[in-house]
Structure formats: C-alpha cells, structure tokens
Amino acid sequence: MQYPKPLGRLIGELSKLPGIGSKTASRLAYYILSMQDQEAESLADSIVDAKRTMHFCSVCGNLTDQDPCAICSDPKRRQDMVCVVETQQDVLAVERVQEYRGLYHVLNGVISPMEGIGPDDINLRSLILRLQKHPEITEVILATNPSVEGEATATYIARLLKPSGIRVSRIAHGIPIGGDLEYADEVTLLKALEGRTEL
Amino acid sequence: MQYPKPLGRLIGELSKLPGIGSKTASRLAYYILSMQDQEAESLADSIVDAKRTMHFCSVCGNLTDQDPCAICSDPKRRQDMVCVVETQQDVLAVERVQEYRGLYHVLNGVISPMEGIGPDDINLRSLILRLQKHPEITEVILATNPSVEGEATATYIARLLKPSGIRVSRIAHGIPIGGDLEYADEVTLLKALEGRTEL
C-alpha cells in the first residue's frame, strides 16, 4: 500500500531536510497530522514568514529581519572592531561567549578552489568596501574555522588587508578547555605550541 | 544576542516536533532559510494541505484522503477478515508484508487505565457496529502490540466479541526471525514455547 497522496507529499518534503530520513519524516508527518489545526498552520506559517522576512544585512551579511541588523545598528557596540566569520551560526557562537562587543562580517561561505568557490563568490568585496567607508574600523579579527578552506580564506583576507594598515588578527587555535593533551591531534598540539603565551 | 523574531519563531515551532531538540531545530531553520523560495513554500503548503485533506476513514479509522479509504473501497480485498491494529503506521507495517488481503480496523489508541484511556476513548464502538452491519465478516485478527496495554485491549475485544460467534484470533508472539534464543527475554521465550506448533 502506498501512502495517501497528501501524506506522501508531506513525507517527501520533510525528508528533503538535512538529517531527516524517510522513517523520521514519516514519524514527523504522522505527528503533524495529530496536531491541532492551528498548531500545524502555525508551523507552516512560521516557515513562510521566516523565509519572507529574513534576509541578509546589507552591512555585515548576517541574517536579519531588519536592515541594518540588530548588531550593526546597536550604538553601544564597539565600532572599531569587525569579527569575520563564515556563517550566521558562527555569529551566534561568538555572541554566546558574551565577551566580544564589536561588529561582525559574515562571509556566507569560504574560499574553496576544490568546489569552485573563489573570493568573488563569498561576501568579501563588501568587507573591503566597508573598511574603506568606515576608517574608524581599526581591527579585523579573522574567526573562520580552522579547516583548510577557513585557513586559506583567513590568509587571503589577511594578505588583502595588509596594505591598508588595519590590524588583522586570527583567533587562537590550541587544546580546547577540558580537552586532553593525550588525545589531541598533532596539528592542534602544534598550533598550541606555536601559539604559546608567556606567563 | 537573541535570534531575530521570525527565525526564533520558526525554531520554536520546529522544536515542538518529536525528536527535534533546539540544536536540530536551529539547523533545520537555517537550512529552510537557505532553500529556494518555492521549495520552502512547498514544504509549508504540504503541511497545510496534508492537515486539511487527511482525515479518518469513516469505516475503519485509518488516515486517508478519501472516504472510505483506499483499502475499505477496494473490492479485490477479502471482505470477510478484519485486522485490528493500534495505529495507521501498523496498517502500513502489515501491508508491507504483502500477504494479508483482508480489511483493517484502526483503534487509534489502546485501552490504558493508567492514562485514563477507556474502551470508549478508542475507535472500538465503531468496530462493534461495523461487525453488526457486515455479517460477512467472519474473522477478527487482533494485531495490537504485545505490550501490557495492547494485550489488555486484545483480551477486552476478544471477550466482547465472544457472544457474537465471530472467530477471533491473536497474532503469534515468539522469537523473531534472525533473533537469538540466548538473548531472548523470558516472556518472549515463554510465548514462543506456549505457541509452539506441531511439525
């Protein structure tokens, strides 16, 4: 027996989501059918609404429902520092630390020649223009991931900004707090040794 | 930093789904925002559409988009057997075997005094009425789960149908195919011994 058509379609749509296989999709679909009408409509509406109202901030490239985004338009934040990250999720990760009070620039990607993603395919040109337009920005923190692509992107940006005289820094890599030296991989340990600070 | 409102709402709605925690909900939400507009709308629409068009079959209680459902209105199926199951998913499970060609009756629940669910709270009265209306039904197969509630429900229905003279059977319980006697629990092994068949 096949699923009735509307149910089959719902399961098909749900299983397009990442990490949702056909079994989970079917479980979710049955759950949705067991919900109150207004709950299911609210779920559907929140999808359409988020999709319609959320867009990239014209200044920093973060996902936002206003423009400029809440961070860019917050006068209490330090206007002289910009933290460059790969994704919106990374902004939230740094914000969770509740220590950094500067601005952000979201690349929405990384340079990856293997996947044919060059410097023009990520949100990089707008960073250069932003720095030219706002001479009050004196430091750029490169917080791309410590992956091959993230490192390459950080190196590329650092080289690009060198002539401008802006201070460019890279977040530290090393043994995570709570981590175990014994189980650290060689590259992390190397980075930890290289990045040692005097006490 | 808080999520922008529409994004926060979407994450909230998604995390109401079973097995979706706040991390997964956030990952799904960002994925939805990265989808094409029409893909996201199609997902939202499939939820509303399924919710609007799917309902319980007035004959058997199965979820369907037509009435009576595809199984009840299939003249090629045996009209003299009714398999009683707990949920719609159980119908699909039995259908996957491709052996049973009779009809179904979906209880949409089980009798569970612990949770205050009595015989009147499940789709049981309609089974009795259905059997009275269709004297051609000569066998009822009880395929509720082998849980305390499922067993109790099966026993209750069997006792209820006894005076009518309809043949009532219960699916067999025992060692699953591919299972290992060594690791079978005592109750399953007991059921397997009790249900032994002569060769």
> Rounded to a whole number, what is the distance in Å from the CA of A68 to chain B's nearest CA?
12
> Rounded to a whole number, what is the distance in Å from the CA of B53 to chain A's nearest CA?
7
- Name the region of A61 (left: φ>0; alpha: ψ -120 to 50; beta: rest): left
pLDDT of residue B186: 82
pLDDT of residue B67: 87
Report the C-alpha dihedral over residues B173, B174, B178, B183, rounded to 10 degrees: 130
pLDDT of residue B1: 55
List the pLDDT tens digit at each of the 199 positions of chain A. 578 899 999 999 999 999 999 899 999 999 999 899 999 999 999 999 999 999 999 999 999 999 899 999 999 999 999 999 999 889 988 888 888 899 999 999 999 989 999 999 999 999 999 999 999 999 999 999 988 899 999 999 999 998 988 999 988 888 888 878 788 888 888 888 888 877 7
Tell me which chain B residue has its CA closest to the CA of residue A52.
B37
* Three-class HEC string of chain A: CCCCHHHHHHHHHHCCCCCCCHHHHHHHHHHHHHCCHHHHHHHHHHHHHHHHHCEECCCCCCEECCCCCCCCCCCCCCCCEEEEECCHHHHHHHHHCCCCCCEEEECCCCCEHHHCECHHHCCCHHHHHHHHHCCCCCEEEECCCCCHHHHHHHHHHHHHHHHHCCEEEECCCCCCCCCCHHHCCHHHHHHHHHCCCCC
> B51 vs A40: CB contact, 8 Å cut-off?
yes
What is the value of ipTM here, to two decimals? 0.77
If DSSP codes are grouped into helix, strand and coil, which group holds residue B170? Answer: strand
Hey, CA dihedral for B155, B139, B54, B91, is it positive or negative? positive
What are the Cα distances from residue A194, in Å, to A32, A149, A159, A177, A187?
53, 20, 21, 17, 10
Q: CB of A156 within 8 A of CB of A150?
A: no
pLDDT of residue B56: 92
pLDDT of residue B160: 93
| Strands in B54-199 per DSSP E | 55-56, 63-64, 81-85, 103-106, 139-142, 167-170
Tell me which chain A residue has its CA closest to the CA of residue B96.
A1
Per DSSP bridges, beta strands B81-85 and B139-142 are parallel
Q: CB of A90 within 8 A of CB of A143?
A: yes
List the pLDDT tens digit at each of the 199 positions of chain B. 578 899 999 999 999 999 999 899 999 999 999 999 999 999 999 999 999 999 999 999 999 999 899 999 999 999 999 999 999 889 988 888 888 899 999 999 999 989 999 999 999 999 999 999 999 999 999 999 988 899 999 999 999 998 988 999 988 888 888 878 788 888 888 888 888 877 7
If DSSP codes are grouped into helix, strand and coil, which group holds residue B141? Answer: strand
> Rounded to a whole number, what is the distance in Å from the CA of A191 to chain B's nearest CA?
29
Q: What is the pLDDT of residues B86-123, one digit of tens each?
A: 998 899 888 888 888 999 999 999 999 899 999 999 99
* Calpha distance A11→A14 (Å, rounded): 5
Residues of B with Cβ-Cβ distance to A16 under 8 angstroms: 39, 43
Q: What number of C-beta contacts closer than 8 Å exist between A and B?
A: 150
On the 0-12 / 13-18 / 19+ scale of CB atoms within 10 A, B126 is middle
